[in-house]
Structure 1
């Protein structure tokens, strides 16, 4: 497809498995070219994922996930090439937010009012980049205090929900993927039409 619109997707080692795999596949499914990147890694390298689940404990459990292969080299990223940014959750954001290039990329998208989607602990990158002041957003509940400290308004919503504030779409965790990606596609300006024969046609 010519003139395919591009999405930059930030992930890293011990990212939450679903929060990388599922949004990546959903965005590719509707026609976006999605570049998955991680600092200090190149195209063809992998990141290890972790499966976070809710099994009745006071916090989530963590189990080994898949190895996810990156399809683009972080050092080759030219931010102006992309229509939107996705930030995966899991444990990766706690170290990715220490990378100044990651923070610069995040600031670029927010300052240029380009669509940004962040889920679960991915919001830690937004708070570290100091781009949530005056914004309404959600996150995994344990990240809520960081949102408030960074000047944002934390929205306590169900895990199946998403919060939209202008160009920013956030969700608490992977149970919210359906709404999270649906809202992100709307912010991107994509149109999904379901025909009478139950076939979907996407315009990106």
Structure 2
């Protein structure tokens, strides 16, 4: 297996599990992950939010941890990366307002590179045209945005993942085992036990 270089686009109040778990797990299997945020540099931190499912009509939200960035956003070129990962939480809703972020996502889509997004992550993808003609999972409240972006929203269990070509999506962090396994498959990563 050749190690891959993965770009992770994050911002303040990204979902805690959805940034920390893939960041650590993908490195654990040998990939390089650069977590970047517009306006921030390597060594800066972002705040995370913990979203939980406690029987309410929607998820609850609590303050999470500080997450350290390991690369400078201003140094990012999509051509340096094999894949893109977009966690959910609050950050996708405002990252999609940043033109440089949108340009990066469009470049990954144009170059047909693997993209993984979970929960609210497809909000960012929707703004770029990457979802057009694709079947996509997301947090259910993001279904209208998926459809408005020309995608087909796929309703699956909260612990399941969906793959359409090189696009891997899941509804929320309970899908991590299935979502990360599907992303590793798209990346060509083989784990031998």
Q: Could you say what secondary structure the match of 1:169 adopts? A: strand
Who wins on radius of gyration, i.e. which is larger? 1
1:130 matched to 2:129? The reply is yes
**CA deviation vs aligned residue, 1:64-91 (integer Å, no higher than 9, x gap):** 1000000000000021111100001000
1:100 matched to 2:99? The reply is yes
Residue 116 (structure 1) aligns with: 115
Q: Distance in 2 between matches of 1:124 and 1:115?
A: 17
Q: Could you say what secondary structure the match of 2:192 adopts? A: strand
Note the C-alpha offset of 1:4: 4.5
Equivalent runs, 1:146-165 vs 2, <5 Å: 146-165=145-164
Residue 201 (structure 1) aligns with: none
Q: Distance in 2 between matches of 1:164 and 1:50?
A: 26
User: Please, what TM-score do these two structures have when normalized by structure 1?
Assistant: 0.93
Q: Distance in 1 between matches of 2:144 and 2:178?
A: 24
**CA deviation vs aligned residue, 1:71-118 (integer Å, no higher than 9, x gap):** 000000021111100001000111000001111111111111100000
Residue 42 (structure 2) aligns with: 43
Residue 172 (structure 2) aligns with: 173
**CA deviation vs aligned residue, 1:7-47 (integer Å, no higher than 9, x gap):** 10111100000000000001000001110000010000000
Note the C-alpha offset of 1:5: 2.5
Residue 68 (structure 2) aligns with: 69
Residue 54 (structure 2) aligns with: 55
Q: Distance in 1 between matches of 2:53 and 2:186?
A: 30
User: Please, what TM-score do these two structures have when normalized by structure 2?
Assistant: 0.98
Q: Could you say what secondary structure the match of 1:93 adopts? A: helix
Q: Distance in 1 between matches of 2:55 and 2:32?
A: 38
Q: CA RMSD in A?
A: 0.8
Unaligned runs of 5+ in 1: 195-204
Residue 27 (structure 2) aligns with: 28
**CA deviation vs aligned residue, 1:158-195 (integer Å, no higher than 9, x gap):** 1101110001000000000011010001101111111x
